[in-house]
Structures are given as structure tokens and as C-alpha cells.
Amino acid sequence: MNKTSIKASRRQREASRQMQRLGGQAVWRRGWFIGIAGIAALAIAAMYLVYQSSPGKHGATAGGSGFKHVAGEPGAGSAAPTFTLTSGTGGQVSLTAFRGRNVLLYFQEGLSCKPCWDQIKDLEHNQAALKTAGVDAVLSITTDPANLIGQKVADEKLTTPVLSDPTMRVSHAYNANQYGMMGEMRDGHSFILVGADGRIRWRADYGGKPDYTMFLPTAKMLTDLTAERTA
């Protein structure tokens, strides 16, 4: 074999080894991309499961009222978390004081939410309809300081007890801060009917996605309550 042939043979062997190296790198890159895609798919699946298990984040329905809402947790059939909170008028109000009566809890966004206060006015204007629906009392709960709530209640000439939950202990117990446009820092627009035995009979969270409802006519709310409440 002459020198030219030897050189040509060496070049062929070197080219063959180079192709093998490139092929190995391509296989490694394909494996890497497949691995990353698999991890991403698992992450998306995990996020979906978290979303599905989040309280009241899915399954919104318009119900008979036409207003979309969910029923978060604790929901109908659960024992209502007890509480004692300061009213805007300065006194202490306990849920246990209403044992033997049906009390409607109205969690709302607070001082800066005009529709929320309009909601309380509308509830007061429809007390007869509330009584007919079996609601004996209404309590509103928000996270603002009691003294500021008291001033707002006086300005609006309201008689409904509005309770201060500044630490959000009660809001968290009812997960009422999961359904509003302010994220978890404020309550949304949730109604919870607590029965005479201290158990939740009905719940509707209107303040979350997609509509972020902050007001609905009392008659519409009672339409949902009547249709959805448990015995």
C-alpha cells in the first residue's frame, strides 16, 4: 500500500470515528430533550391536580340566579367553625349565640368595596324575604379594623352587625379569602347559611373567577339558597 492509500485510509477511519461521536451526541441530546419533556409533563400534571383540589376553584355554576358561583369548603353538612369577633359597634359577637336560629354569614371585601355595602343595604331592605326563606339573622364579616367598620356602618345607617376579622383567622377557617379579586389578602363575596344546629346548610362563593361578583340582588341570592340548601 502506497503512502497516498495509507493517508486515505486514515482519513476514512477518522471520518468514521467523527460520525460515531456525532451520532452519540445526537442520541444524548434526544434523550435529554425527552427527559426534560417528561419532567415538564409531570409538573403540569401536578399543577393540574393542585388546581383541581383547591377549594372551590372549579365547577362554577350560574344556578337559578344566573350569577356564577362555587361552593367552597367547609360546605353543606360540615360543622360551622365557631368564632367570637368584635362588631363595628364595639361589642363581641359569637356564632354560638345564634344556636337555635338560622344565621346567614356574609363575607365581604370591606371598606373600599362600595358594592359590598350596597349588598348589606339590599339585604336589610329584603328582611321579609329573608325571613320567608328561613333566615333568622345576618352577620357580615370583613378584615377591616372594628373602629373603621363602626364609622362606615354609621355613615351608611346600617343595622346589620358587621364584624372585624383583622387577623383573618375566621376568614381562613371558612376559606372565604379564596374567592375575590384581591387575591388571598381579602375576603370575596361569600354567603354561608349556618343552621340552628350549628352545621352549614348552604354555601355560595360569588366573588371569584370569572366574574368577580361583588353584588347580586337579594332575591337572586335567595333563589340559589332555596334551590341548593340542604335540609
Residues marked active site are found at 116
What cell does 12 get?
476514512
Q: Tell me if 73 sits within 8 A of 56, measured CB to CB.
A: yes
Closest CA to 119 of 178, 207, 224: 207
Provide φ and ψ at 104, rounded to 5°: -95, 115
Q: Who's near 130: CB < 8 A, 6+ residues apart? A: 104, 123, 138, 218, 222
* Start-to-end CA span in the chain (Å): 101
